[in-house]
Amino acid sequence: MSKVVARTGNEAMAEAMRQINPDVVAAYPITPATEIVMIFAKYVADGLVDTNFVAVESEHSAMSACVGASATGARVMTGTSSQGLCLMYEILPIAAALRLPIVMCDVNRAISGPINIHCDHSDTMAARDFGWLQIFSEDSQEAYDSLIQAIRIAEDPRVHLPTMVTTDGFIISHCLDRIEIVEDKEVKEFIGGDRKAANSLLDVKKPVSVGLLDLQDYYFEHRLPVAEAMKNSKKVILEVAEEFAKKFGRKYGLYEGYKLDDAEIAIVALGSTCGTAKVVIDELRAKGIKAGMLKIRVFRPFPAEEIAQALANVKAVAVLDRSDMWAGQGGQVFTEIRSALFEAVKKPQLLNYIYGLGGREIDQPMLRSVFTALQSAEKQPLVQYLGVRE
Amino acid sequence: MSEVKPGWKTLPEGDIVKGGTAAEFKTGDWRSERPVWFPERCIHCMFCWISCPDSSIVVKDGKMTGIDYDHCKGCGICVKECPVKPNKALEMKPEREGSCQR
């Protein structure tokens, strides 16, 4: 039995954390993710969870504590955003290389500078090469559902990789939304008991060393399994999503196609923008324009083959990037998709729009203008900035 | 015979190995200076033993018996901590002294 409630993205994530009941949470507050851990800390204080909550002095320490705790075999979670995630960067790839299934609530926020607290994807995109699975959410419901699934995915023996589930700062994190919450015992059943780790730092009967110096002769052999696990995780994400759909009725994939099957023009986007885009697409469809969208849910691992296949019959596609990678040839999502399409025999003409930096509004007229441009895509420059003053 | 190293498919997951492997990794060649022990001055206070970060002070039956040069990195903490006066029971000497000196 599920119940319908009003929750912000942060409240929804904290609720999922309470139901997951992790062994250890180490975190440091940062806008707009503060609330997640603040609400969770109250659950700890009120005795609603069995979690050992570690209040640390920085995000660098938070992720370090998470790595240590996870190496003992504990189920570990944390939450952060923007500069906090940046401070974790040094430790993030260590968590991946040690194959520790830490699950993070990550609220997308622009990175400094200039200093800004609002949504874009620059913090999370900069963490894309650290061996963490990255799942984006369109709304609070997806954040709640994906966080529960993330525990199963990360702890699957075929994966054993840390995972971040993201929401968009303020747009999702602070807006009340109608969501369905499942019962505590159903979440418990879905997760299926304690984490089953093969080794524990605290097991004195089977002493192990973790995270040793690894030079020319072994480092390479320890990095390759991360790439392999990342590849394998696609199958696991889909399996877990299927089981979740059977139990709770909501379906997820690596991506979501919205009116994409017969679309002639389409956008690719991730996060909260997809909700606005769906309204615009419905309007265009009512006028007889074959518009559609490919919403990326999983950015790491990147579903390259799946996306190439899904976009094969579209005439023109605009990839929306809510961050810039300063490469002078478009954003992170665009670069991935362009690369994914390179070998494809049938592929759309591709455009890139970089938009919404530092929380700059993306509204229906702006998205409509993208679809209008797609109708004469051949006349458009490859990369454009959407919604910036000249 | 050179050692056959395991490939990535057979290595244990995640850079995890059995405990106590530091003993197998000889770090003595990192030294530029070595502590030299003078037994006749030593009072066996164990200050060097408890201070050594590499467990390189060799103790038998509660007595200092020498230095494990296979693992001593030459940090000099034992010499610094040695309380014996006027001359310490441990002194730092250049690693090359008496060997390849020109």
- The three-class DSSP label of residue B31 is coil
A259, A274, A101, A144 alpha-carbon torsion, rounded to 10°: -100
All residues of chain A having their beta carbon less than 8 Å from the beta carbon of residue B16 are 98, 199, 208-210
The secondary structure of chain A in percent helix, strand, coil, rounded to multiples of 5, reads 40, 20, 40
Contact A212 B5 (CB under 8 A): no
Q: Is the pLDDT of residue A48 over 70?
A: yes
> Any CB–CB contact under 8 A between A50 and chain B?
no
All residues of chain A having their beta carbon less than 8 Å from the beta carbon of residue B8 are 220-222, 224-225, 228
User: CATH 3.40.50.920 residue ranges in chain A?
Assistant: 255-386
B84 found inside a domain: yes
Structure-token match 């389409």, residue found: A266
The phi and psi torsions of A346 (rounded to 5 degrees) equal -105, 120
Distance CA A73, CA A69 (A): 7
Other Cβ atoms closer than 10 A to A339: 12
Which one of B14, B18, B21 has the shortest CB-CB distance to A97? Answer: B14
The answer to whether the bond into A365 is cis (omega within 30° of 0) is: no
All residues of chain A having their beta carbon less than 8 Å from the beta carbon of residue B21 are 209, 212
Q: Is the pLDDT of residue A390 over 70?
A: yes
Q: With beta carbons less than 8 A apart as the criterion, state whether A341 and A308 touch.
A: yes
Identify the band that residue B21 occupies on the pLDDT scale cut at 50, 70 and 90.
Answer: confident
What's the pLDDT score for residue A292? 98
> Any CB–CB contact under 8 A between B5 and chain A?
yes
Structure tokens at A366: 């702006």
pLDDT (tens digit, 9 = 90+) per residue, A64-93?
999 999 999 999 999 999 999 999 999 999
Integer-rounded Cα radius of gyration of chain B: 18
User: CATH 3.40.50.970 residue ranges in chain A?
Assistant: 3-248
pLDDT (tens digit, 9 = 90+) per residue, A269-324?
999 999 999 999 999 999 999 999 999 999 999 999 999 999 999 999 999 999 99
Q: Is the pLDDT of residue B1 over 70?
A: no
Distance CA A137, CA A266 (A): 19
> Any CB–CB contact under 8 A between B3 and chain A?
no
What's the pLDDT score for residue B100? 47
Distance CA A117, CA A119 (A): 7
Residue A210 bridge partners (DSSP)? B16
Closest C-alpha among A94, A99, A121 to residue A110? A121
Q: What's this model's pTM, rounded to 2 decimal places?
A: 0.92
Which one of B13, B15, B19 has the shortest CB-CB distance to A211? Answer: B15
Q: Which DSSP symbol is given to A178? A: E
pLDDT (tens digit, 9 = 90+) per residue, B26-53?
999 999 999 999 999 999 999 999 999 9
The amino acid at residue A15 is E
First to last CA, chain A: 53
Domain with B60 in it: what CATH number? 3.30.70.20
Could you tell me which CATH number the domain at A255-386 has?
3.40.50.920
Contact B19 A209 (CB under 8 A): yes
Q: Is the pLDDT of residue A7 over 80?
A: yes
All residues of chain A having their beta carbon less than 8 Å from the beta carbon of residue B2 are none
What's the pLDDT score for residue B102? 42
Distance CA B49, CA B70 (A): 16
State the best of A159, A199, A202, A204 to mutate against chain B, taking most chain B CBs within 10 Å.
A199
All residues of chain A having their beta carbon less than 8 Å from the beta carbon of residue B11 are 218, 221-222, 225
- The three-class DSSP label of residue A240 is helix
Tell me whether strands A24-27 and A163-168 are parallel, antiparallel or unpaired: unpaired
Tell me whether strands A76-81 and A163-168 are parallel, antiparallel or unpaired: unpaired
A176, A182, A188, A189 alpha-carbon torsion, rounded to 10°: -150
pLDDT (tens digit, 9 = 90+) per residue, A176-189?
999 999 999 999 99
Closest C-alpha among A157, A138, A150, A330 to residue A232? A157
- The three-class DSSP label of residue A17 is helix
Distances (CA, A) of A370 to A248, A319, A373: 35, 10, 5
B51 found inside a domain: yes
> Any CB–CB contact under 8 A between A87 and chain B?
no
Distance CA A76, CA A239 (A): 22
What total number of domains does chain B contain? 1
Q: How many CB pairs under 8 A join A and B?
A: 53
Distance CA A341, CA A337 (A): 6
Residue A248 region, left (φ>0) first, then alpha (ψ -120 to 50), else beta? alpha
pLDDT (tens digit, 9 = 90+) per residue, B56-72?
999 999 999 999 999 99
Q: Is the pLDDT of residue A254 over 80?
A: yes
Q: Is the pLDDT of residue A141 over 90?
A: yes
Could you tell me which CATH number the domain at A3-248 has?
3.40.50.970
Q: Which DSSP symbol is given to B82? A: -
Contact B15 A214 (CB under 8 A): yes
Contact B14 A100 (CB under 8 A): yes
B82 found inside a domain: yes
Contact A208 B18 (CB under 8 A): yes
What's the pLDDT score for residue B30? 93
Identify the band that residue B98 occupies on the pLDDT scale cut at 50, 70 and 90.
Answer: low
Contact A221 B19 (CB under 8 A): no
Structure-token match 């984006």, residue found: A136
Residue of B nearest to A158 (CA): B13
The phi and psi torsions of B10 (rounded to 5 degrees) equal -105, -10
B102 found inside a domain: no
Distance CA B49, CA A49 (A): 45
Containing B60, the helix (H) or strand (E) segment is: strand B57-60
Distances (CA, A) of A270 to A173, A340, B15: 15, 17, 34
Contact A222 B11 (CB under 8 A): yes
Distance CA B31, CA B73 (A): 5
Average pLDDT, chain A: 97
Residue A133 bridge partners (DSSP)? A163
Identify the band that residue A35 occupies on the pLDDT scale cut at 50, 70 and 90.
Answer: very high
Q: With beta carbons less than 8 A apart as the criterion, state whether A96 and A132 touch.
A: yes
Question: Which domain does B80 fall in, by range?
Answer: 26-96
The phi and psi torsions of B28 (rounded to 5 degrees) equal -60, -30
Residue B98 region, left (φ>0) first, then alpha (ψ -120 to 50), else beta? left
All residues of chain B having their beta carbon less than 8 Å from the beta carbon of residue A208 are 16-19
> Any CB–CB contact under 8 A between B61 and chain A?
no
Integer-rounded Cα radius of gyration of chain A: 21
Distance CA A387, CA A358 (A): 12
Helix and strand numbers (H, E) in chain B are 2, 5
